[in-house]
Amino acid sequence: MRRSFRKLLNSDPSVNWLQPLPHDPPVVRRDVPLALARGRRVVHLGFTDERQTETKLREGRWLHAALADVAPELVGLDLDEAGVQQAVDAGYEAYVVDVQDADALAALAVEPADLVIAGEIIEHLENPGAFLRAVQQLLRPDGELVVTTPNAYRASGFFALVLGEELIHPDHVGIHSVHTLRTLGARAGYRVEHLGYYQNAPKIDTTSAGAVTKAVRGVQGVVSRRAPHWSDGIYAVYSLPRG
C-alpha cells in the first residue's frame, strides 16, 4: 500500500518529487541559537526583532540579550536604524547594514565569527540565495550559520484555511520547507550539517482567549512530537566547505 502511494505521488520517474525529512521531535526555537552560541563569538543578523526590542527587553524575551549572557563576543547587524541605536545606547556592539549586500558587509570589516545567526530573516528576503552567499564572509573557516524560518507545512497554517484565509506575516515573500533550506544552502556553497524542527513558545495571557490559545498550543505540541513535520518552523545549520 505504501509503495503504491509513493508511486502515485512520484509518477514521473525522471524526477524524484519525494524528499527525505527529519524525524526528531521539535525543539524550542530560541534554544537552538542559544545552545550553539555558548562560549563562541557570535554575529546576530536582524537582531532588533522588527522594532519590538523595547517590549521584548521588558518582558525578558529578547533573544539578543539572552545571547549576550552565553556568548563572550556578540555583534548585532540590522537595517533598523532606531533599533540599532537603542542597542548601542544600551551598551551592545551593533551596526546598521543591509545583510543582503555583500559589499556593505565587507565595508564594515567586522571580525568573522564562530557562529552567525539568521533567525526568522530568510522568509523576508527577495533573494535568499544571494543573502546566504553574502554572509559567508562573516564566518570563520570553521564557523557555522544557523537559519530559522516558519515551516511551509505548519499545522496552524492549515487550520487557517478553514476560514478561507492564509496565516502568514504580511512582510513575508517566501515560505520554506526542509528541502528548500537544504537546497538553498547547498547551492550557496555550504555544507548542510543539520536540519530540524522547532516549536514557538509564545507568551499567553490569562484571559479566556489566552486559555483557548493555551489549549490549542497544547494539542499542537502533542501533534508535533508525534508528527514533527507539522511543527511551527524549521532550522538549518550550515558550515563552509572543508579543505
Predicted confidence (pLDDT) per residue in 63-96, tens digit:
999 999 999 999 999 999 999 999 999 999 999 9
Cell triple for residue 60? 525578558
Residue 224 neighbours by CB under 8 Å, 6+ apart: 25, 26, 155, 197, 199, 230, 231, 232
Question: What's the confidence (pLDDT) of residue 46?
Answer: 95
CATH homologous superfamily for 19-239?
Vaccinia Virus protein VP39 (3.40.50.150)
- pTM of the entire predicted model: 0.88
> In the chain, pLDDT over 90 holds for what percent of residues?
70
In degrees and rounded to multiples of 5, residue 107 shows phi and psi of: -65, -25
Q: What band does 202 get if pLDDT is binned at 50, 70 and 90? A: low
How many Å apart are CA 155 and CA 216, to the nearest integer?
Answer: 11
The pLDDT value recorded for residue 207 is 58
Looking at residue 9, what is its pLDDT? Answer: 72
Q: Is the pLDDT of residue 209 over 80?
A: no
**Average predicted confidence (pLDDT) for the chain:** 88
Q: Which amino acid is at 145?
A: L
Look up cell 521588558; give the residue.
Answer: 58
Per-residue pLDDT at 72 = 98
pLDDT at residue 220 is higher than 70: no
Q: In the predicted model, what is the mean pLDDT of residues 165-182?
A: 95
| Cβ–Cβ under 8 Å, residues 231 and 224 | yes
What percent of the chain shows pLDDT beyond 70? 85
Are 94 and 88 contacting, i.e. CB atoms less than 8 angstroms apart?
Answer: yes
CB 40 within 8 A of CB 70: no
Grid cell locating 205: 495571557
- Report pLDDT for 227: 87
The phi and psi torsions of 115 (rounded to 5 degrees) equal -140, 130
The domain limits of the chain are: 19-239
111-163 pLDDT, tens digit per residue, is 999 999 999 999 999 999 999 999 999 999 999 999 999 999 998 888 888 88
Q: What is the pLDDT of residue 49?
A: 79
Contact by Cβ (8 Å): 188, 127? no
The strands making up 41-45's β-sheet, listed across from edge to edge, are: 27-28, 191-199, 233-239, 139-150, 113-119, 41-45, 73-78, 93-96
**Gap between the Cα atoms of 33 and 48, Å rounded:** 15
pLDDT at 208 over 70: no
3-state DSSP assignment of residue 39: coil
Q: Chain centroid to CA 94: how far?
A: 20
